[in-house]
Amino acid sequence: MYCSAECRLAAAEQYHRVLCTGPSQDDPLHPLNKLQEAWRSVHYPPETASIMLMARMVATVKQAKDKDRWVRLFSQFCNKTANEEEEIVHKLLGDKFKGQLELLRRLFTEALYEEVLSQWFTPDGFRSLFALVGTNGQGIGTSSLSQWVHACDALELKSQDREQLDAFIDQLYKDIEAATGEFLNCEGSGLFVLQSCWRTICLSVPAPNAWQKLMNPT
């Protein structure tokens, strides 16, 4: 689902042609469906990271006319040492992370292998890619319900009608929460180059007044 025709077109031009399963959307044997099912079996909500975010990275390179540009762009994200990478993957996948990571790597390779990114599909490269997303990923959350409630707030209603609507909304939230628990919103993760650059700056400057020094260099 897309918020507009423009967003759908932008996605198709950047990565979605590679990831679109078309008539195989419900085929459990399709490589991308197998990858997503494996991910769901090892990583439960909320989405602190996503295997499909990594898939979009590969798909973006696959579709790009200037593949090297995207490779350079992804290389700008903050990287970790091998030990730090293992800790990040452990947090994402749990105690059995090594076996789960290898399963995901194999399915990821079957579905999306790209020669230009061959290093990403090796055991070490895939672990690094996983850690890159875990380190740099930013949480994204949206709520269609809250947007609808805001629209209701803007309505010009009589006092009695407003009270009835407010009571209905309160009960609606309670009913939905009873069914969804804490997972009321649509949640995911994304990569943002600017935020990653800022993270790198913060990590590389040890002084407590680093912000002041950056803003007022001497």
Please give the residue that has the higher pLDDT: either 18 or 98. Answer: 18
Of the listed ranges 18-32, 63-77, 88-102, the least confidently predicted one is 88-102
Residue 127 has pLDDT above 70, yes or no: yes
Share of the chain above pLDDT 70, in %: 67
Please determine, for residue 58, whether its predicted confidence score (pLDDT) is greater than 90.
Answer: yes
pLDDT in tens, 82-95: 556 566 665 656 55
- Interval 129-170: pLDDT, tens: 887 887 776 666 677 788 889 899 999 999 999 999 999 999
Write the secondary structure of the chain as one string of H (helix), E (strand) and C (coil): CCCCHHHHHHHHHHHHHHHCCHHHCCCCCCHHHHHHHHHHHHCCCCCCCCHHHHHHHHHHHHHCCCHHHHHHHHHCCCCCCHHHHHHHHHHHHCCCHHHHHHHHHHHHHHHHCCHHHHHHHCHHHHHHHHHHHHHHCEEEEECHHHHHHHHHHCCCCCHHHHHHHHHHHHHHHHHHHHHHCCCCCEEEEECCHHHHHHHHHHHHCCCCCHHHHHHCCC
